[in-house]
């Protein structure tokens, strides 16, 4: 079995490679791909931008701009109003860069990213734009619970209040309003 695994590795079946920080040439290639994706995004050519950012992730997923590439893909989908794809991309970003369970942290080398609270908020916003108000409220509550002290916590609170205001007579909206008040009181302690 071990021989098979070694042969599998030597055969080149695993194509992803680590780009060392001292490899100037490879880092320059990676940076050019990322910048090309940003240029496509600025020009509004979102499918091309997504392809470039995905190419960056496929080949250079261990260097410093990887979290930015994941984020930019999600933003491109959001700009095209492709809500399911945007939600999936934000979730991939969160899954890739969230801190692991405390016992696994010494073994996992992934780093945390500044985009997690924003991605969580934008998942809720995407559900809201899509018309799935209850899922949007659920996602906004996650932001309030985990990241209320960031700029995205109060925005999530406003998002829930905005959804509730659209349905003033609905029983679920009144219930969610009470839950929100308790949640805000809890996180402000």
User: Comparing 24 with 121, which gets the higher pLDDT?
Assistant: 121
Share of the chain above pLDDT 90, in %: 67
The string of pLDDT tens digits covering residues 96-120 is 888 765 445 455 455 667 899 999 9
Answer yes or no: pTM beyond 0.85: no
Q: What angle do CA 52, 66, 97 make, to 5 degrees?
A: 135
The whole-number pLDDT of residue 62 equals 77
d(CA 74, CA 170): 33
The whole-number pLDDT of residue 101 equals 52
Q: Lowest mean pLDDT: which of 11-15, 48-52, 105-109, 178-182?
A: 11-15
Mean pLDDT, the chain, integer = 84
The whole-number pLDDT of residue 9 equals 39
The whole-number pLDDT of residue 173 equals 93
Is residue 111 within 8 A of residue 100, CB to CB? The reply is: no
The whole-number pLDDT of residue 110 equals 53
Domains annotated on the chain, with CATH = 21-109 (1.25.40.10), 114-189 (no CATH)
Residue of 96, 94, 95, 16 whose CA lies nearest to 55:
16
Q: Lowest mean pLDDT: which of 74-78, 94-98, 129-133, 145-149?
A: 94-98
Rounded average pLDDT over 1-20 = 43
Is residue 147 within 8 A of residue 117, CB to CB? The reply is: yes
């Amino acid at each position: 079995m071990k021989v098979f695994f070694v042969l599998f590795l030597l055969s080149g079946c695993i194509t992803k490679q680590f780009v060392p920080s001292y490899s100037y040439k490879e880092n320059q290639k990676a940076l050019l791909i990322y910048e090309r994706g940003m240029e496509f995004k600025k020009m509004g050519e979102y499918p091309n931008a997504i392809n470039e950012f995905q190419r960056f992730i496929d080949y250079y997923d261990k260097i410093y701009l990887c979290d930015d590439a994941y984020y930019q893909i999600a933003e491109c989908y959001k700009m095209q109003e492709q809500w399911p794809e945007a939600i999936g991309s934000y979730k991939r970003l969160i899954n890739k860069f969230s801190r692991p369970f405390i016992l696994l942290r010494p073994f996992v080398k992934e780093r945390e990213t500044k985009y997690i609270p924003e991605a969580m908020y934008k998942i809720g916003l995407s559900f809201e734009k899509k018309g799935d108000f209850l899922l949007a409220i659920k996602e906004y509550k996650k932001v309030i619970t985990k990241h209320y002290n960031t700029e995205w916590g109060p925005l999530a609170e406003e998002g829930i209040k905005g959804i509730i205001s659209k349905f003033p007579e609905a029983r679920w909206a009144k219930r969610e309003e009470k839950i929100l008040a308790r949640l805000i009181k809890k996180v402000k302690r």
